[in-house]
Amino acid sequence: MLLTISTTATPATDLGFLLHKHPDRVQEFGQSFGTATVFYPESGEGRCTAALLLDVDPIALVRSRGKNSPDFSLSQYVNDRPYAASSLLAVALGDVFRTARAGRCKARPDLPGRPMPLVIGLPALPCRGGPELAARLFEPLGWAVEALAVPLDEGFPEWGDSRYVRLTLSGTVRLADALNHLYVLLPVLDDGKHYWIAPDEVDKLVRAGEGWLYGHPERGLIMRRYLGRRWALARTALARLAELGDETEEQLEPAVDEDAAAGETAADEAAAAEAEAQGDVPEVKPKALNVRRREAVLETLEEIGATSVIDLGCGQGELVGAMLARPRFARVAGMDVSAMALTIAARKLKLDRMPDSKRARLTLFQGALTYTDKRLSGYDAAVLMEVIEHVDPPRLAALERVVFGHARPQHVLVTTPNIEYNPRYEFLTGLRHRDHRFEWTRAEFAAWASRVADDYGYQVTFKPVGDDDPEVGPPTQMGVFTR
C-alpha cells in the first residue's frame, strides 16, 4: 500500500519539517500488523515528495487481534490487505504522522498554519461507491479530485472495473488538515473497518474531524461508515463536534423566536425518528456549549456595563461578531496570535462589506498575549474565552502580567473548561482539545484566579456556564475580575 504526498511550496523541503521526517533518511515504524516505511522519492527546493509504504503482514494482522475481534476465517490470510490503501493505511498514517496531524512543528511554528500546494496520490484505494463517492467526499474540503476506476484486468477490459480507484487529490490545504481528511476518509471509502469499533473511535473521529466534519455535506455518511453504523456513537460524535464550535455562519444570526423554534424541534424529532428507522443518522441540534458560553459572556459584559471590550484570543471572531451586533458596545477589538484565525474571522464578519459605521467600531489585530502591548489598553473589559488553557503553564505568568498588570482593564472575564466535567462526555479520553496544555478542576481555577486577583489588585467572582451538574459542576467555568 502506498501513499504519496507532494508539494511545490517554496522551499518544498518544508514538507520534511512538517512531517517530522527527514528527507534524507528512510525510516521504518513497526505497526502491530506490519511495517510502515517513510521515504522521499524526491526532495528538491522546487518539489518534494514523501511516500508512506505500508507492508502488511497478514499473519501479524491475525495475531494482533484481540479475543473479541471478528473472525474472517480464510479471508484472514488471503485478502487484499497488502496491496490496497485501506483503513490500515489510515491507522499507520495516524500513528507515523501524529505530530503533523496535530498541526505542531517546534522547529518552524509558523509552518503548520499555512495552506500549501499539495498533491496526494493513492494508486489503489478500495472505494465502495466508486470514483463519484471519492469526489463527493473530498471536493467539499477544497480538493480537486481525479479518481479513475482500476480495471479488474487490463488484458480483459470486458471484465469491467474492480472496486479500486486510483485517486489523486490536488489542492492548497494545510498539511495537518490534509492528513486528517485522509485519516477519516480512507476507512470511510473502504467501508470495511479491519478492527473492532472501540469506544475511543468516537474520540478519534471528533479530534480528526474538528474544523471540517461538522459542516461537511456528507457528514451523515462519513460518520455512519466510520463508526461501523452504530447510531448511538454517531450521534455522540455529532453532538461533540457541535460543541467544539465548528458552527456554520447561520448560527451567528440572531436567534429565531422561541415558539417557532419549539415547533421546529418537535418536527425535527419526528424526522429524526423516521431517519433513524431508515438507517440515517438523525440531525442533532443541541444548544452547543460554545453558544451558551458566548451568551454567558455577553450577559456578564452587559451586567458590568462595559461599552468597550477587547476579546483576547478571539479565534474566528464569533464573540466579536455578536458584540458588533449589539449597539451598546461602542468599541470592540479582537486580537489573536493566529493569522489564519484572523483571516477566517475577517471573512465570517464580512469585513470587506461591513458598513462604515460598524467598521469604525471594530479593531482586529494580530498579537501575542505573552508580550506587553499598548494596543491592549483602553478598554472597559477584556475577555479571555477558552484561551488560557492554550498557553503553556510556564508562560501563564507572562500572560497575567500583560493582561492584569499592563493592560489593566476595569474588568477581565476568563472562561476555561472544568476538567471535573469531562467524564460526562461519553467516550472522551484525555483533554477536550488537542491543543489544550491543561484543564483545571474548579478548585484549581479558583486558586489560580484568587492568586492573580491578589497579586494585581482585583476582586474575583465565579459563574458556572452550561448545566451545573450537582456532582462535577458545569462544563465551563468563568471568573469575573473587577478592579
Q: Is 386 in the site for ligand SAH (CB under 6 A)?
A: yes
Residue 200 near residue 427, CB atoms below 8 Å: yes
CB 454, min distance to ligand SAH, A: 23
Site membership for ligand SAH, residue 439 (CB under 6 A): no
**193 or 411: CB nearest ligand SAH:** 411
- Options 54, 337, 364, 460; binder of ligand SAH; rule CB under 6 A: 337
390 part of the interface to ligand SAH, by CB under 6 A = yes
Q: Is 476 in the site for ligand SAH (CB under 6 A)?
A: no
Question: 229 — alpha (psi -120 to 50), left (phi > 0) or beta?
Answer: left
Given the complex with ligand SAH, which of 9 and 387 has the nearer CB atom?
387
What is the residue whose three cell numbers read 452504530? Answer: 230
Cβ burial of 275 (10 Å; 0-12, 13-18, 19+) is middle
Give yes or no for a contact between 474 and 467, defined as CB atoms under 8 angstroms apart. yes
- In angstroms, the CA 192 to CA 198 distance is 15
Task: Please state the closest distance from residue 344 (CB atom) to ligand SAH, in A.
Answer: 10
Rule CB under 6 A: which of 229-248 touch ligand SAH?
Answer: 245
To ligand SAH, the closest distance from the beta carbon of 217 in angstroms equals: 24
Closest among 151, 237, 137, 143 to 187, alpha carbons compared: 137
Considering only the stretches 31-39, 59-67, 86-94, 333-341, report the one whose residues sit in contact with ligand SAH under the rule CB under 6 A: 333-341
The nearer residue to ligand SAH, 63 or 434, going by C-beta atoms, is 434
Q: Which of 315, 466, 473, 474 binds ligand SAH (CB under 6 A)?
A: 315
Answer for the pair 381, 412: CB distance below 8 angstroms, yes or no. yes
Build a one-symbol-per-residue string for 61-80: x at contacts with ligand SAH by CB under 6 A, - elsewhere. --------------------
314 binds ligand SAH, rule: CB under 6 A: yes
C-alpha–C-alpha distance, residues 197 and 225, integer Å: 11
| Residue 415 Cβ vs ligand SAH, minimum distance, rounded to whole Å | 7
Residue closer to ligand SAH by CB (options 221, 396) is 396
In angstroms, what is the minimal distance from the CB of 312 to ligand SAH?
Answer: 6
Q: Using CB under 6 A, which of 301, 385, 414, 465 touches ligand SAH?
A: 385
By CB under 6 A, tell whether 251 contacts ligand SAH. Answer: no
Whose CA is closest to 16, among 134, 77, 97? 97
Q: Which is nearer to ligand SAH, 201 or 318 (CB)?
A: 318
Nearer to ligand SAH, 194 or 294 (CB): 294
Shortest reach from residue 389's CB to ligand SAH, in Å = 8
In terms of CB distance, is 355 or 394 closer to ligand SAH? 394
Taking CB under 6 A as the criterion, the residue among 16, 171, 282, 313 binding ligand SAH is 313
When asked if residue 210 is in the footprint of ligand SAH (CB under 6 A), the reply is: no
User: Are 478 and 294 in contact, with CB atoms under 8 Å apart?
Assistant: no
Residue among 368, 431, 446, 472 that touches ligand SAH (CB under 6 A)? 368
Binding-site member from 13, 86, 370, 476 for ligand SAH (CB under 6 A): 370
**Binding to ligand SAH, residues 398-437 (CB under 6 A):** none
Query: Is 336 one of the binding residues for ligand SAH (CB under 6 A)?
Result: yes
Instruction: From 17-25, 97-105, 143-151, 386-394, give the range in contact with ligand SAH by CB under 6 A.
Output: 386-394
Give the nearer residue to ligand SAH in terms of CB position, either 235 or 292: 292
Q: Which pairing describes strands 161-173 and 116-126: parallel, antiparallel, or unpaired?
A: antiparallel
Bridge-based pairing of strands 331-336 and 362-366 is parallel
Does 391 contact ligand SAH by CB under 6 A? yes
| Alpha carbons 242 and 210: distance in angstroms, whole number | 9
Question: What is the pattern of x (binds ligand SAH, CB under 6 A) and - over residues 101-120?
Answer: --------------------
Count of residues near ligand SAH by CB under 6 A: 17
CA distances from 268 to 252, 253, 262 (A): 21, 20, 10
On the CB side of 434, how many CA atoms lie within 13 Å of its CA? Answer: 18
Please identify, among the stretches 9-17, 139-147, 310-318, 405-413, the one whose residues bind ligand SAH according to the rule CB under 6 A.
310-318
Among residues 208, 362, 387, 419, which is the contact residue for ligand SAH, using CB under 6 A? 387
Positions in the binding site for ligand SAH (CB under 6 A): 245, 313-315, 318, 336-338, 341, 368-370, 385-387, 390-391
